[in-house]
Amino acid sequence: MEHPYVPRDLQLPGYVPVSLSQSTILTVFGLSSLFVVSLVWLLSGRWRNLSNLDRLLMCWWAFTGLTHMILEGYFAFSPEFYKEKTGFYLAEVWKEYSKGDSRYAGRDTAIVTVEGITSVLEGPPSLLAVYAIATGKGYSYILQFAISLGQLYGTLVYFIAAYLDGDNFAASPFYYYAYYILANSFWILIPSLIAVRCWKKISMAVQSQSQKKNKVR
Amino acid sequence: MEHPYVPRDLQLPGYVPVSLSQSTILTVFGLSSLFVVSLVWLLSGRWRNLSNLDRLLMCWWAFTGLTHMILEGYFAFSPEFYKEKTGFYLAEVWKEYSKGDSRYAGRDTAIVTVEGITSVLEGPPSLLAVYAIATGKGYSYILQFAISLGQLYGTLVYFIAAYLDGDNFAASPFYYYAYYILANSFWILIPSLIAVRCWKKISMAVQSQSQKKNKVR
């Protein structure tokens, strides 16, 4: 079966075409994400005095953590997803996304490496961040900072490796901008904002503690 | 000219063999590093009350920062180093190191990506860390934490990508263990120790500040 991906000479023996429509795939992802975000938003509102910003961050961490663990976790450990015949949703997602970046179907080393690290080392810690914010742990900022930095490093490897390999992995400009650029840009923008905020909070806390120590002397 | 690297079918047209001896290459690196470390150790001793641990950390950051910027920076931006005829030291280093990991001579995408990020985004900040420790900046811990995490992420990509690609890039078991495993293990061990220390320091500072705030209420 011929595949719809670029470059055209990519070899995918046993490829089975995507069976769900693009709108179905995106709607399922959108509604599941909306469900998770709504649930965390509502539950966190009944929790003791959390700021709206903290509640928003909890929604982000729940959403991104589950995305890392379920979507990206499936990809990282399913080398033959493109042969999947059953219309299994997670395989459909990656068959569809490969139109924007065929390195997924082609099992590019840099992609599998980054997705493996993301799903295993950033997924579960993201859910821990939800808990850490809710309970006001002292490690809350440094944990959020660490995951955000990991996400930024991963996205950077993702884009630089594509550039070095010729940046010719999208089936059309639409898929290039919608999947490859737009979808990934959120994992540049949001981790950057969170990292900067945590950096400031942490620097201030350390500064104020060292001043306190100096006074005690 | 035939190259000494594995896999044997790696194509390196225009390859010029390494001209310095292994011991010369290692001695120059060792002595330069020793010079930098000694200089930072001595100068930091004349600085106001820095602990010996802080002075040791300054030595590490100066050493690793200059390694990232000079050695790895040269590699990242010199795609044709293996054709270098003049015996230029930095090219000799990478010709020699490629015996432990031919992905360097072969310009593997994951390697170039990680080395590019390391040299540009971790090199200069490492030197900033020397300054931040010396002057007791509030951002000192979070900066050291950020660079260490970047180093760990990079080394992880380095090893995982090699594993996924078949782990057959060393000219002999000696080069495999001495260059590929041993040399890189320092960038697992030391960043891990620093990251854990910074995590603890930061968590405690944030915790104590939030308790102070609660008391004020």
Q: pLDDT digits over B6-17, tens only?
A: 999 999 999 999
Residues with Cβ within 8 Å of B55's Cβ and at least 6 positions away in sequence, in order, are: B40, B41, B44, B45
Q: ipTM score here?
A: 0.96
**B113 domain-assigned:** yes
Buried b or exposed e, range B129-151, using 16+ CB within 10 angstroms: bbebbbeebbbbbbbbbbbbbbb
Q: Residue B31 — very low, low, confident or very high, per pLDDT cuts 50/70/90?
A: very high
Confidence at residue B58, expressed as pLDDT on a 0 to 100 scale: 98
pLDDT above 90 coverage of chain A, percent: 93
- Choose the closest CB to B110 out of A154, A161, A202: A161
Q: Are B206 and A201 in contact (CB under 8 A)?
A: yes
Q: Most B CBs within 10 Å: which of A120, A169, A199, A209, as the mutation test of the B interface? A: A209
Chain A nearest-CA distance from B7, in A, is: 17
For residue B160, the tally of other CB atoms under 10 A from its CB is 18
Given a cut of 80, is residue A212 above it in pLDDT?
A: no
pLDDT at A27 over 70: yes
> Has residue B217 got a pLDDT over 60?
no
pLDDT category at A210 given cuts 50, 70, 90 is confident
> pLDDT for B153-173, tens place per residue?
999 999 999 999 999 999 999
Asked if residue B9 is part of any domain, the answer here is: no
Would residue B11 count as lying in a domain? no
Mutate to test the interface with B, among A148, A149, A157 (most CBs of B within 10 A): A157
Dist. CA A133–CA B179, nearest whole Å: 42
pLDDT of B216 reads: 59
Confidence label for B210 from pLDDT (cuts 50, 70 and 90) = confident
pLDDT band at residue A216 using 50, 70 and 90 as cut-offs: low
Which residue in A114, A149, A164 is closest to B149 by CB distance? A149
pLDDT at B49: 86
| Domain annotation covers residue A15 | no
Residues from chain A contacting residue B205 (CB–CB below 8 Å): 202, 205-206, 208-209
Q: Give the 3-state secondary structure of residue A102.
A: coil
Residues in B closer than 8 angstroms to A198, CB to CB, are: 142
**Overall domain count for chain A:** 1
Farthest CA pair distance, chain B:
76
Summarize pLDDT for A63-96 with one digit per residue, the tens.
999 999 999 999 999 999 999 999 999 999 999 9
Over residues B128-141, the mean pLDDT reads 96
Is A2 inside a domain boundary? Answer: no
Domain of residue B98: give its range. 22-207
Q: How far apart are CA B199 and CA A143, in angstroms?
A: 8
Verify whether the Cβ–Cβ distance A139 to B210 is below 8 Å: no
Under the banding of pLDDT at 50, 70 and 90, the label for residue B186 is: very high
Chain A residues whose C-beta is within 8 A of a chain B C-beta are 109-110, 112-114, 116-117, 136-142, 145-146, 149-150, 153-154, 156-157, 160-161, 164-165, 198-199, 201-210
CB contact under 8 A, B142 and A207: no
pLDDT tens column, B96-128? 999 999 999 999 999 999 999 999 999 999 999
**Is residue A17 included in any domain, yes or no?**
no
Mean local confidence (pLDDT), A37-56:
94
Find the closest chain B residue to A196 by CA distance. B142
pTM of the predicted model as reported, rounded to 2 decimal places = 0.96
**Residue B143 is assigned to a structural domain of this protein:** yes
pLDDT of A217 above 60: no
Residue A143 contacts residue A149 (beta carbons within 8 Å): no
Does residue B48 or residue A178 have the better pLDDT?
A: A178
H or E element that contains A129:
helix A123-134
Domain membership flag for residue A156: yes
Substitution target in B75, B142, B169 with the highest count of A β-carbons within 10 Å is: B142
